Amino acid sequence: MFIYGRGHKTLSSPARSEFPCPACGTKGTSVVVVDYDYAHIFWIFGGLKNEVVTMSCKACLAGRQLNANEQSHVFSQDAKNPVPFMDRYGAYVLIVLFVAWFAFAFTFPCAVNPTSDACLDSR
């Protein structure tokens, strides 16, 4: 039985560097806001969709959407990505677990099912 769910989250983290605000011109601290939808199986193996990353000025509350290059710069040097690991990469973890299980089952069939024809023929 698969327990499937979906939802929406908005997470924020402060940026460590000072970025000039295009609206008010002040060079104060900014807030990185990540707004995304997610889907999950068993509340663990999740995946993102519709991710929008914005940088908001604390002084005037104006925000602008960041492109992929700006996101990588902000998350690598200034702020930690606030999206949890299993929300970002949970679907990949689930795929790796399935592939590992199938590889084990086909490599060692007697460990998975000792009464199978392959095990009985090998004795």
Structure token digits, residue 95? 């795929």
| pLDDT at site 63 | 82
- pTM of model > 0.85: no
In a domain, 110, yes or no: no
In a domain, 51, yes or no: yes
The number of helix segments (H) and strand segments (E) in the chain equals 4, 4
The pLDDT tens digits of the residues spanning 6-23 come to 889 998 887 766 777 777
In a domain, 111, yes or no: no
In a domain, 119, yes or no: no
Q: Please count the structural domains in the chain.
A: 1
Q: Please check whether residue 30 is in contact with residue 57, taking contact to mean a CB–CB distance below 8 angstroms.
A: yes
In a domain, 42, yes or no: yes
In a domain, 53, yes or no: yes
Which domain does 71 fall in, by range? 4-88
The letter for the amino acid at 2 is F
